[in-house]
Structure 1
């Protein structure tokens, strides 16, 4: 748990003093001796991870083209284009093999 200086509101640091450990402010002369064990754990709630490519539903209504799969050599692949970089750079083309047995994904 973070402790803040009651005088100047800056972060207090733990340092070793004459009588054990103490909280000390690096900005002002505030010092407070630590007389008891202080422990507090707080785990932040992580954000949900979004699938930027739209997940499995993104491949439902896409077109196919003549593109050879690098894994199974099938000659057709589904494709979609997404702007992954800045607007002045070309779009990234993502491919998915049309062969149901393979389903390999790659990008160009």
Structure 2
């Protein structure tokens, strides 16, 4: 979409006809913008994805979660970090996610 720099109206497109090139024109004022039919690409740049460092690492996240005594099914260690999330309807209990402080094993309790 292009807008008229004079009055701000939406410019309309006019197809090329006979010897006149394609153009944008303003329906309310005399502004006209001719469109060049050939566009040259000077050079191509390859986009490189920049790696992003996480703001909070998994270890930091685990240290900030509350701790409870829950036996790990993997190693039997008694301390685990936990978090809760409502995964079903509101009248159902919340799902509790645990992470073992020793072996980092994850499990959930519905």
Q: Structures share a fold, TM > 0.5?
A: no
TM range (shorter): 0.3 to 0.5
User: TM-score, normalising length from structure 2?
Assistant: 0.41
Which of the pair is proportionally richer in strand? Answer: 1
User: TM-score, normalising length from structure 1?
Assistant: 0.42
